[in-house]
Structure 1
Amino acid sequence: MIFSFFLLLKKLISQTPLTTLLQVDATYKLTWNELPLLVFGSLDADRHFHPFAIALVSNDEDSICYKDLFNQLQLISTQENNRPFYINFIMADGAPGIRKAQKDLFPGAKRLMCWAHVIRKCREHRKLVPKDKWNQIDLDIHDLQLSFSDSLFQCGASLLMKKWSSDTLIKHFQEYFYDQWIIKLPLWREKYEGAGINIPSTNNGCESLNGKIKQQYTLRNKLHLSSFLPKIEQMLHDWSTNSLLNDFVTKPSISTTLELISIKWSNSIDKISILHWFDSWYIVPSSNSLIAPAVWLQMYQQQQ
């Protein structure tokens, strides 16, 4: 039997029209019967996480659970804001349940996975390669993550697999990476750095809030349900109060310090090397660039 308690306050759900990103993360070891607690929310333009709702569920692995919760979130958001919650991006872990629910309910949304999870799992398998080769492999994975288009990522992943396949000493890691991150969890291919403009590459904000729940509300104890429910009520009240003091920022705040740094940078860089692409987009070479911006742009356009 699958059950769920979906809990929120009006002030929290009123923030959903300000974003198209939904972040979901589960935390455990809060209750004596190990009921998972799901947190729903989103980062604003200043990288501050804003929770929308929480759900106490009996099972966080079944897609039926996530479908029900997503439907509830949409229904309540529509009722309170007079418009649906338009979701273009969903960031969560690689659980099959949430992946299937997203495909069924939000087929047009991009399914993102936390980059920190990917590299952490890869590093846990570093023993599959000789120590003197790991630094280069780690660098290769980071370079691939810096892709800024689907075609570029796919081309880079293909070239990386060919590169690793030529070295028999890293064959086992190459097989692990291909099986886990290219075949089984291809959704990572949608969380390279350029997968979404102004979209975070990690789920750290949501996960950090889960850590605060254990530290500040349960004191790292497993509570009986009768004791935990009042804690949930207190959490929602605190989050709602905090949202009154900290607005959901839709445009990045620019500090005076950052403005001064920008002025110094603009005065020191060779402006001739900057290529105007279109609109407000510019191609700026790195400090150790190997090719000119015009050549880079030509190579990029050929990949499209």
Structure 2
Amino acid sequence: MTLQDPAISNRNDDTPASFSTSVFLLGAISLGGFVGVMSPASSATLSRGIDITLLLMIFLLFFELRLSSLFSAVTNIRFLAMAWSANFLIIPIVGLCIASLFFSDHPVLFAGLMIYFLAPCTDWFLGFARLAKGDTELGATLIPVNIITQLLLFPFWLWLFANGAGLADLSPMSTSLLQWFLVPMIAAQGARCAAERLLPMQQRVAVMSWVSRGLNFVLAALIFQIFAMHIGDIAGQLDVAAMVAAAVLFFFIATFAVGEVLSRLGELKYPQRALLSMTMAARNGPLMLALTAIAVPDQPLILAVIVAAMLVEIPLLTALYQLLLKIRPER
């Protein structure tokens, strides 16, 4: 579900497994719901392993992160500033308007949609950008900037959209960030550094491929556990799935329009234009799912909204890269 660094990911085939990923996540949802309904005792046992699943997922997410790309970012400061402003200044306003339109009377669902909207993707957007003939080398410099910014902003967004509604207690947030993110990040980056120094290229490619595939299974396991634990709460709100899908569709349309305006104002060439569209559209659902499961574990509907949005996002990204190819200037 995630991608390695561009030099490695470019060796893969040219089609992200969007359909199979959707089926995979739907299978995790269905199996989790089935276990939760048929065997509540089993789901309670499975739920005790959710902390291990979260830690493993966070470790794998940070293992794929190339912090060295931060040094390359200074050479692309103009595009970086444009993309950062779009993701962290403009999109929060766009997301607020859309979430207010759909869930203004339901603070839990509103918070879930906003948390999903506010975090730009740090992995698979590069694969879709590559399919759209976007500038993936430039895109790689966005990854560490995006993930560091969203981690720093997450407590603020949670306070703004969840704490005010009485959905979250932020008092232990600093300890949680240290325990759940700083320690796994240091461990993951240490392991990645060791792999890069000690393993030949072929074995490094294999390790990154295993990590990417493993992350798919760990994410599915987390979704399975969430739905097994909370199917009773979630089942009563299944009707909101269509509204979440419509909201995410509106989000994609709005971000594409804003991206086109910014590209014209910034006189971006097509590869940078395609990259900007992808980074504005793709969201970091897996990390937001992990963060939210830690911060507000007793709010399953927020988690369900994030999962539902992730399922809609995958086919929409596929449609977006095909649209970008159609409007790509002829060479």
Instruction: Please report the TM-score for the alignment, with normalisation by the length of structure 2.
Output: 0.23
User: TM-score, length-normalised on structure 1?
Assistant: 0.24
Computing the radius of gyration over CA atoms, which structure comes out larger, 1 or 2?
Answer: 1
Structure with greater proportional helix content: 2
Bigger proportion of residues as strand: 1
